[in-house]
Structure 1
Amino acid sequence: MTTKFLKTLMGSAAALALGAVAAAAGPLMDRIEAGKPVRIGFANEVPWAYPGEDKEPLGFVNAYVTGVLHEMGHDRIEPVVTEWGGLIPGLKAGRFDIITGGMYILKERCENVAFSEPMAKVNDALIVAPGNPKGLHNMEDIAATGAIVVTGAGYNAIKVAKAAGVPDDHIMEVPGPTEILAAVKAGRADAGAVTYFTAQNLVNEAGGAVDISDVTKQPEDGANWVGIGFREEDADFLAAFNAAQTEYLGSEAMMEAVAPYGYGEGALPDDRTTEWVCANR
């Protein structure tokens, strides 16, 4: 499906949604109308979303979201940094207004978060010891060899590992990428399960201490779609965000903003809608 057709489809859906919710302003619009900034929540997930100096929101998802918000006329941004596992609870508790951490749209998350239309399509990967001595490329390999896999608390990889038959005592949960890399480097885990973007960054950071698995050996249905998270009661703002995203997604301005973080045209989403992803992931 062409990008032009996809944008037309997304635009029509966003316009209908916007009309349906325009009469009911949510808490985020109330904050904005009171002169308060839009609070974006993210963890330290390089290159997705991470804090720079003075908590400057860096990473391609932050660059993307601030670009869309700018198109909407919202330039007052307040970054809120937390651990990955605290993103959804923090959103629901009102500690921030939008999750920009680079979150997969998943069925169980759709029960707690209102996601934007997808802004990226990505695959998972494993980081392994140099040369991948145990031949680990996917969760099935980990289950078959009795290997230990480490991943982040709250990551989708936990569910994928269990579905592949990896026993609970072979799944190590840690706070995030730094700890995942440390566990693999120290030999406490045979593989670290992360997104492909994160794996690339960790391999570069490790300077030869780890390798990345062959992502072509990941399951064909292993692709995931990334969305921006909102509270259900901010449906009015979400509809406006989706409408602005329709024009911004894939634009020259967007691609220039996200390029420094490794996001290229190959990461642009296909024609899948959030409704479809919520039902099928």
Structure 2
Amino acid sequence: MKKHLLTTLLASVALGATTVAAFAGPLMDRINAGETIRIGFANEIPFAYPGDDGSPKGFVNAEVLGVLAKMGYTNIEPVQTDWGGLIPGLQAGRFDIITGGMNILKSRCENIAFSDPMARIGDAFIVAAGNPKGLENYVTIKDAGAVMVTGAGYSNVEQAKAAGVPEADIMQVPGPTEILAAVKAGRADAGAGTYFTMKQLAASSDGTVDVTDPGAMPEDTMNWAGVGFRKEDQDFLDTFNAAQKDYLGSAEMMAAVKDYGYDETTLPGDKTTDWVCANR
């Protein structure tokens, strides 16, 4: 009886281990096992965010869902996390694809694989109404000795440091809500992020903050957003890129992303992921 019980227990442990391995394994293994494709994103309006019912909203989610549908995949599970948890969560197998509107950066390319660029995105600041300190770019932040707030893990941290902004003057917070709160409360002089997000924050501030002109930022702060995958899912990523090439900029896609502010000016142009990884 004890031997039978031990055999049953060992079998259960083995089955559990197999299930965990399949759950956290390469994406095609999950798909072949009938599991969902888990898309990970933070609350980053208008890139990717949860709807009132938890459904995936935002232009990156809309684009990715469209590409996956073209590939024949509709069994999708949204997983929301903090921005700083996106890459660690992908690496740990908590989700399979990052759809959060993540800029392709050299430092990130060392840890995950990116799709071909799906958007070209400029940065901007939110500042107190009237921009009393004249903060238009990172150099003016440095020269004014101003405090900048941005999201933990945002590309703006590296860009500000490269322009000479002292680390002590860079406040890092979880995300857009906290960026707006810091500027409104006067704890920071400028909030940095993508123009899309900063424009949305300014519009929600009842006139207490303004958004700066993204054209005042240096060209080397222009970024290209991609969709993130684990490096071991390169086979799936290659197929995704082929499908995205046909879908990106199509009438169907542009209709799907229109309400989120994505238009022809946001299309990525001819930059490749290899170029962006090497130059950003």
- Separation in 1 of the partners of 2:156 and 2:118? 20
Q: Which residue of 2 aligns with 1:40?
A: 39
Shift in Å, 1:214: 2.1
SS at match of 1:202: helix
Q: Which residue of 1 aligns with 2:13?
A: none
Aligned residues of 2:122 and 2:194 also touching (Cα < 8 A) = yes
Q: Which residue of 2 aligns with 1:53?
A: 52
Q: Does 1:274 align with 2:234?
A: no
Counterpart amino acid of residue 185 in structure 1: K
The number of equivalent residue pairs is 256
Following superposition of structure 1 onto structure 2, how do residues 1-281 of structure 1 map, counting pairs within 5 Å? 27-281=26-280
Aligned residues of 2:46 and 2:260 also touching (Cα < 8 A) = yes
- Separation in 2 of the partners of 1:262 and 1:119? 14
Shift in Å, 1:270: 1.1
Counterpart amino acid of residue 234 in structure 1: D
Moved more, 206-215 or 58-67: 206-215
Shift in Å, 1:54: 2.9
For residues 249-276 of structure 1, what are the alpha-carbon distances to aligned partners after superposition, in whole Å with 9 as ceiling and x for unaligned?
0000100000000000000011110011
- Separation in 2 of the partners of 1:202 and 1:162? 24
- Separation in 1 of the partners of 2:66 and 2:33? 22
Moved more, 213-222 or 71-80: 213-222
- Separation in 2 of the partners of 1:109 and 1:120? 17
SS at match of 1:147: coil
SS at match of 2:249: coil
Identity of aligned residues (%): 67
Unpaired segments of 5 or more residues in structure 2?
A: 1-24
Please report the TM-score for the alignment, with normalisation by the length of structure 1.
0.90
- Separation in 2 of the partners of 1:187 and 1:102? 28
- Separation in 2 of the partners of 1:247 and 1:61? 16
- Separation in 2 of the partners of 1:238 and 1:221? 27
Q: Which residue of 1 aligns with 2:12?
A: none
Q: Which residue of 2 aligns with 1:16?
A: none
Counterpart amino acid of residue 241 in structure 1: F
Structure of greater relative contact order (alpha carbons < 8 Å, 6+ residues apart): 1
SS at match of 2:93: coil
SS at match of 1:121: strand
SS at match of 1:200: helix
Aligned residues of 2:159 and 2:221 also touching (Cα < 8 A) = no
For residues 98-120 of structure 1, what are the alpha-carbon distances to aligned partners after superposition, in whole Å with 9 as ceiling and x for unaligned?
00000000000000110000000
- Separation in 1 of the partners of 2:30 and 2:219? 43
Shift in Å, 1:169: 1.2
Q: Which residue of 1 aligns with 2:19?
A: none
Unpaired segments of 5 or more residues in structure 1?
A: 1-25
For residues 191-228 of structure 1, what are the alpha-carbon distances to aligned partners after superposition, in whole Å with 9 as ceiling and x for unaligned?
00010000111011112111011222110222110000
Aligned residues of 2:120 and 2:224 also touching (Cα < 8 A) = yes
Counterpart amino acid of residue 137 in structure 2: N
SS at match of 1:103: strand
SS at match of 1:54: coil
Counterpart amino acid of residue 130 in structure 1: A
- Separation in 2 of the partners of 1:78 and 1:206? 32
Shift in Å, 1:163: 1.0
SS at match of 2:131: coil
Please report the TM-score for the alignment, with normalisation by the length of structure 2.
0.90
SS at match of 1:240: helix
- Separation in 1 of the partners of 2:251 and 2:269? 18
Aligned residues of 2:98 and 2:227 also touching (Cα < 8 A) = yes
- Separation in 2 of the partners of 1:122 and 1:44? 18
